[in-house]
């Protein structure tokens, strides 16, 4: 029997989609999570805290590859990735596939700096590796509006554009990559459309049956300038198929 593929962050938006596709393709999967295994979960389960390393040795032992989807969404991703890399090296050096973000080398703020540092850790690890950068997921763009649902207005960053991509489309690409040879840094992946922040907020309101003012807020600083300049976009790699409206309609 083929050794399982470990999916870190296997209960998150992207991780769940990766797991579904691997299972549908007949690939054995081991899901890594800080949570306890649900009673109805049929796949292998590794309860692990990547920050402390608790359970990490057991999680990586015997796997054929790793899809690293876990993120702390704050400071600490670099150390988490170092912990995973060191454990993977001791476990025999499986192929490590990492999901990163378009624009982290031109947009300077702490979370993107962490992601860029993670890429460097992986590149210098000595492991067989593949890194895919993707644009913002539909879920994140929708949360920018849903988080403000109790406010009398919806605030959007002035001049920002996004190229939201389906987590399902990204999961398809990650499964293809982990099923192939290590490829290093592969072409970026973006959604099918570049849209203004205001346009996306309006689309969210239509889907939610709401009508309230949308206020554009000018943000200062280098990171905001880089977003306004399109540093987070990859229109030449618009390989994702799912649109934002299709995502919104699927949630109804």
> Going by C-beta distance under 8 Å and a sequence separation of 6 or more, which residues neighbour residue 172?
21
pLDDT grade, residue 252 (50/70/90)? low
Burial, 120: exposed, middle or buried (Cβ in 10 Å; 0-12, 13-18, 19+)? exposed
Q: Higher confidence at residue 209 or residue 23?
A: 23
Place of tokens 């990492």: 98
In this prediction, residue 1 carries a pLDDT of 52
> Going by C-beta distance under 8 Å and a sequence separation of 6 or more, which residues neighbour residue 49?
34, 55, 56
pLDDT grade, residue 36 (50/70/90)? confident
pLDDT grade, residue 72 (50/70/90)? confident
Domains of the chain, CATH where assigned = 5-250 (3.40.50.720)
- 95-117 pLDDT, tens digit per residue, is 999 999 999 999 998 999 999 99
Q: Model's pTM, two decimal places?
A: 0.94
3-state secondary structure of 125: coil
pLDDT grade, residue 152 (50/70/90)? very high
Q: Round to the nearest angstrom and report the end-to-end CA distance of the chain.
A: 40
State phi, psi for 98 to the nearest 5 degrees.
Answer: -120, 135
CA angle 181, 89, 109 (to 5 degrees): 80
What is the C-alpha separation between 87 and 45, in angstroms, rounded? 17
H-helix segments, 124-186: 138-146, 167-178
State phi, psi for 89 to the nearest 5 degrees.
Answer: -65, -40
Burial, 158: exposed, middle or buried (Cβ in 10 Å; 0-12, 13-18, 19+)? middle
Task: Answer whether 31's CB lies under 8 Å from 45's CB.
Answer: yes
In this prediction, residue 6 carries a pLDDT of 98
């Amino acid at each position: 029997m083929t050794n399982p593929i470990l999916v870190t962050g296997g209960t998150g938006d992207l991780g769940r989609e990766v797991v579904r596709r691997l299972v549908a393709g007949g690939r054995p999967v081991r899901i890594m999570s800080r949570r306890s295994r649900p009673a109805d979960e049929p796949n292998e389960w590794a309860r692990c805290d990547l920050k402390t390393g608790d359970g990490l040795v057991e999680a990586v032992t015997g796997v054929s590859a790793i899809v690293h989807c876990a993120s702390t969404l704050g400071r600490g991703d670099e150390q988490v990735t170092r912990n995973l890399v060191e454990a993977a090296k001791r476990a025999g050096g499986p192929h490590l596939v990492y999901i990163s973000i378009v624009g982290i080398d031109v947009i300077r703020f702490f979370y993107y700096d962490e992601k860029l540092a993670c890429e460097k850790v992986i590149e210098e690890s000595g492991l067989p590796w593949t890194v895919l950068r993707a644009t913002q997921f539909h879920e994140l763009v929708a949360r920018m509006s849903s988080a403000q649902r109790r406010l009398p207005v919806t605030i959007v960053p002035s001049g920002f554009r996004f190229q939201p991509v389906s987590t399902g489309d990204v999961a398809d690409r990650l499964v293809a990559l982990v099923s192939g040879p290590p490829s290093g840094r592969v072409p970026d992946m973006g959604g099918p459309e570049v849209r203004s922040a205001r346009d996306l907020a309006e689309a969210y309101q239509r889907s939610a049956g709401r009508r309230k003012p949308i206020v554009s807020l000018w943000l200062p600083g280098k990171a905001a300038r880089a977003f306004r300049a399109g540093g987070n976009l990859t229109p030449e790699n618009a390989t994702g198929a799912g649109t934002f409206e299709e995502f919104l309609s699927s949630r109804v």
